[in-house]
Structure 1
Amino acid sequence: MKILVVGANNFGQKHLSGIKGMEISIVERKPEVIEKTVEKFKIENVYSSFEDAIKDRFEIVDLVVPHYLHKEMAIKAMEAGSNVLVEKPIATTLDDGEAMIRASKDYGVKFMVTDQYFFDPSVRAAVKFIRENRIGRINTIIVRDQRFFEHGGWRTDKDQMGGGALIDGGIHFLDTLLNFGGNYESIHGKSIHGGSILNGEDNTAALFKFENGTYGLFFYSWSYRNPPELPAFEIIGEKGSIYEDVKSRTSWEVGTPVRTVYGDLIVNGENANVKKYDVYTAEIMEFADSVKNNTEVPFPPELALRDLKAVLDIYKL
């Protein structure tokens, strides 16, 4: 199977390190990035132009590009007959996301958003335990992440991002919250600019009310200097609790054998002994299996659209 990775720098390196047993080509213009990528990975071809690259036949095109390019590039790849992976968010607007889903059906190709948080073993196990009623009726879910953004690049540009911190990193944590809580009926909250170099917002606090009566507390910040180490999620039920053990998180560095998003899962005070695996390999290779076997993709794009809707609902407040 042949895969084309568009954008080999930064997160592109993590995608490349998750690919197993495929012929890999890349689209990249920066000489220093090309050099390190060819040295580190077995690269079949290097293209400087996306349009030239998709003239060749690739079973999978993996787009690791700024948010505002997702729709245009994804649909071009679909027109060329490729199955498409795109980094989160699915797009910057619901209309664009819906157009991408329609195009995948029209052209008869698979389409999925790569969100490693959805594939995290602790998240999958927590969802299973909730469905098994392990801690009884859920009353409160807390999901949070706080850090300080000091980087440059396109993420500082509100137009390229489609917003600020929430649509970029925060959407991961909204996915986790919604996977635990289900459909929501209302949101109260606000996104503000709290002091980073972003053009867009960098601080969000929100209260979700879910259709099942559960409440969700959400906090996400790129303007939090010297943040404390806190569990990224806590699920509080009438018979017990589930939360993340922050001390057991793994490194995301390329070369780390098993990379997870969250730490171990603590259920009713005890380690749940969830089997760990590499989330970057899981998201790409499970998608490749769906292409090979003509089965449903593991992370339906409709769920990625759900996550984007939550972001945009908060932005409206």
Structure 2
Amino acid sequence: MTGPRLRAGVVGCGPIAQRGHLPGLARSKKAQVVAIADLDPKALEKTAKRFHVQKTFTDYKIMLDEKLDIVHVCVPNHLHSRVAIDAMGHGSNVLVEKPLATSVEEAKQMVKVAQEMNVKLCEAKQYRYIPAVQRALRIYSEGRLGKLVSMQAQWHTDIPLTWSHAEWYYDPQKSGGGIVSDIGIHMLDLLLLFGGPVKRVSAAGGDYLGTMGFDTSVQALLEFSGGGTGFLDVSWLAPYSKMLDIVGTAGIATIDMQYYSLLHANYSRNPMRDFFHDARKIMRTARRVVNKDFFDSLPALYAALIDDLADSITSNKPPPITGEIAIRALELKEAIYKSIADKREVLVVA
């Protein structure tokens, strides 16, 4: 892409805008933020000062008159579809924070509007841009791991009180669910990225504490249509762990999602190889800490996503993470919740 950077506006100045979208735009070579909108004037003023934004709006609909190339939707989940549809109605392309919507029905309506308005609808699934994930996908796509046997996606962490205290975040009617809808949707996306469409799912879990009102720990077994299985293990009640394993007939790829490191790929493990891989991991992490990249990795992922979206706009190609891709993860999320509620295996919509 050559020429001036695309004009971007951001709706919502909450945590994901502050930690992901706005720093990502600051790093982007192909888009720049020119306007922000939020209901809270104090949040607007503080955010505008931090990210050097001149135009601020307490009504996002007025901001949409700024002829923006891209609108970043960073509002509470239950408002994603409304804001995105309004933006697309003004002829803007949109980047919607995950999940695309709180339901498959809403997401399909968003896709329909994008097609009618001939604009790009993209979901923010930035973990696809982790270099270790992209390297593992390349190794897998080249056939070096053989035929898929199984995958495991694990993300254990604390209940995200340090991320947001907003009421909607802990209301399943507004957030779309609990842990599966929040961090689980990222891991489902990676399982789909490697494994393809899912035929059926069997899940267990829920509100293990019995006091939260939403799912805090869920495990799900997936059967891929093309063969192989996947296992999702997400919990807000366990010590931190974030891993992705891809097991094939010819090799295994293990990704440490916490440190963005590809630990093993395409060979059998043994103690000596484990030692050298761990040593290299420590050295890479040390370099990232020294360079301050370790504490600032999320903006780089968003910047890469934003640049890809900008390229798709200027070249009139599909966005990097289409609405249709987002719908697959939402269908899987809904199937998991149905399996838990009905205590049975559920067929997933193809």
Give yes or no for TM over 0.5. Answer: yes
Cα 1:33–1:197 shift into 2, 3 Å: farther
Counterpart check, 1:315 vs 2:321:
no
Q: More displaced, 94-103 or 52-61?
A: 52-61
Q: Given the superposition, is the C-alpha separation of residues 236 and 245 from structure 1 closer, same or farther in structure 2, using an over 3 Å criterion?
A: same
Alignment counterpart, residue 78 of structure 1, candidates 82, 85, 88: 88
Q: How does 1:48-197 map to 2 (within 5 A)?
A: 48-151=58-161, 152-153=165-166, 154-195=168-209
Name the SS of the counterpart of 1:235 in structure 2: strand
Taking structure 1 as reference, are residues 185 and 23 closer, same or farther at Cα in structure 2, changes over 3 Å only? closer
Which structure has the bigger radius of gyration? 2
Query: 2:261 aligned to 244, 260, 263, which one?
Result: 263
Q: Which amino acid aligns with 1:244?
A: I
Please say if 1:207 is aligned against 2:212.
no
C-alpha displacement at 1:88, in angstroms? 0.8
Change (3 A) 1:36 1:266: farther
TM alignment of 1:288-303, pairs within 5 A: 288-303=310-325
Map Cα deviations across residues 254-295 of structure 1 (whole Å, 9 max, x no partner).
xxxxxxxx3335213576999x98211011121112112222
- Once residues 297 and 263 of structure 1 are traced to their aligned partners in structure 2, the CA distance between those partners, rounded to angstroms, is 26
Q: Which secondary structure does the structure 2 equivalent of 1:117 belong to?
A: helix
**Counterpart in 1 of 2:12?**
7
Asked if 1:46 is matched to 2:52, the reply is no
- Deviating more after overlay: 103-112 vs 277-286: 277-286
- Residues 202, 263 of structure 1: alpha-carbon distance in 2 compared, 3 angstrom cutoff: same
Distance 2:212 2:137 in 1: 34
Return 126-135 or 96-105, whichever deviates more: 126-135
Structure 1 residues 39 and 196 mapped into 2: Cα distance closer, same or farther (>3 Å)? farther
Partners of 1:197 and 1:36 in 2: CA distance: 35
Picking from 255, 272, 297, the partner of 1:244 is 255
| 1:46–1:206 CA distance, 2 compared to 1 (3 A) | same
CA offset at residue 37 of structure 1? 1.8
Q: CA–CA distance in 2 between the matches of 1:294 and 1:150?
A: 38
- Offset of 1:34 from its aligned partner? 2.6
Moved more, 50-59 or 20-29: 20-29
Equivalence for 1:257: none
Letter in 1 for 2:22: L
- 2:301 is matched with which residue: 263, 279, 285? 279
Q: String of CA shifts for 1:233-267, please: whole Å, max 9, x gaps.
A: 11122222100136x71xxxxxxxxxxxx333521
Instruction: Give TM-score scaled by structure 1 length.
Output: 0.88
| 1:1-43 deviation per Cα after TM superposition (whole angstroms, max 9, x unaligned) | 2111011221101201111352421002334433432232120
Q: Bigger CA drift: 287-296 or 2-11?
A: 287-296
Identity %: 30
Distance between the aligned counterparts of 1:286 and 1:107, measured in 2?
Answer: 20
- The Cα of 1:148 is off from its aligned counterpart by 1.6
* AA matched with 1:39: K
**Any idea what the Cα deviations from partners look like across 1:142-192, whole Å, max 9, x if unmatched?**
111011215131211111112111112110011111111111211111241
Residue 5 of structure 1 aligns to a residue in which SS? strand
Aligned residues: 300
Q: Which runs of 5+ in 1 are unaligned?
A: 250-261
Which region of structure 1 is more displaced relative to structure 2, 67-76 or 18-27? Answer: 18-27
Unaligned 5+ segments in structure 2 are 1-5, 285-292, 340-350
Higher share in helix: 2
Sort the Cα spacing of 1:212 and 1:90 in 2 relative to 1 into closer, same or farther, 3 A.
Answer: same
